[in-house]
Amino acid sequence: MTRYRCAVVIPTKNAMHVLPTVMDKVRTQRTPWRYEIIVVDSGSTDGTSDYLRGLSDVRLVEIGPSEFGHGKTRNLGVELADAEFVAFLTHDAEPVDEYWLLNLVSSAEQDPTIAGVFGRHIAQQTASPFTKSDLDKHFAGFLAHPLVVSRDLDPTRYKADVGWRQMLHFYSDNNSLLRKSIWQQIPYPDVEFAEDQIWARRIIEAGYSKAYSPNAIVYHSHDYGFFEQLCRAFDESRNFSKYFGYQLSPNPGRALWTAGEFAIQALWQQVDESYGNLTLRHRFARAAQRIALVAGHCLGANHQKIPAAVASRLSLDQKLFEA
């Protein structure tokens, strides 16, 4: 018998600028069952560990920076959890309300074949109107499909349609939950990037189901500057090519054309007024971000042709693991 219905696992690193707000929300979830909170900190130096030690209802596990891995650290958290289900947050993903955890678990309880659940993200109030609109459109897209999906939903389409397979394995550990009994058969891969989506593909291909919980919502968004967006897109593209065989903007000429189209679009695009007033600053930042996205994808798809020193400079994941 497990001691808890669910555990919440949060990896942290130098998170004091956001973590207290997140922890306040996690610690006050309203559920009809008991849950535990496990935080795995990987060498914070900003007072994060001291803050967490002061929370009597939080189990703090400290590891060295060199021991961190996106999949490896989450596997450690699941292994330590004495629970049927394990939910994940990142240290900057804040539950919107006190029913976030209950909604995730309720989605998983629909069917014992559901191995994982992912929830919705909405942008922080301070985010750009473009970021707010993008996130809402992205997650609204999942409502066009059943909330519980599997490979058996359309086996023929799964074999033939790359876009359909991408939808089926979309999964985000910024806001997710897994069934521990299935994780024991299929743990997270120890990889530099996309451990969540690789795991989701594995559970889908093993015949399990994945659920979307639109009412399990967190505030989580980023307005990246040009270079950080370039680097993140580079890592995304390089690793999607490596792990999934997807080529994102591989043709330099086509990528240049697309970047130009996106930049022009950013200068004229409109969003709903509820997202806030668009300024010229928003538009120029959007244009730069979209150019960086396409350029990063193109560089990542062609990473084998790039000098190792340049690729190292571009990869945020490589810097993380080297550190």
What does each C-alpha distance from 86 to 101, 117, 141, 146, 276 come to in angstroms?
10, 10, 26, 23, 36
Pairing of strands 4-12, 83-89: parallel
pLDDT at residue 226 tops 80 = yes
pTM of the model: 0.92
Measured over the CA atoms of residue 304, residue 308, residue 312 and residue 314, the dihedral's sign is: negative
pLDDT category, 250, cuts 50, 70, 90?
Answer: confident
pLDDT at residue 1 tops 90 = no
Q: Identify the pLDDT of residue 312.
A: 81
Inter-residue contact 174 to 220 (CB < 8 Å): yes
What is the average per-residue pLDDT within 268-273?
90
Cα(161)–Cα(166) distance, rounded to whole angstroms?
9
Question: For the chain, what percent of residues have pLDDT higher than 70?
Answer: 98
Query: For the segment 111-162, what is each residue's pLDDT rounded down to a tens digit?
Result: 999 999 999 999 999 999 999 999 999 999 999 999 999 999 999 999 899 8
Least confident range from 28-42, 153-167, 224-238, 299-313: namely 299-313
Cα(159)–Cα(64) distance, rounded to whole angstroms?
42
pLDDT at residue 166 tops 60 = yes
E strand spans, 181-294: 209-219
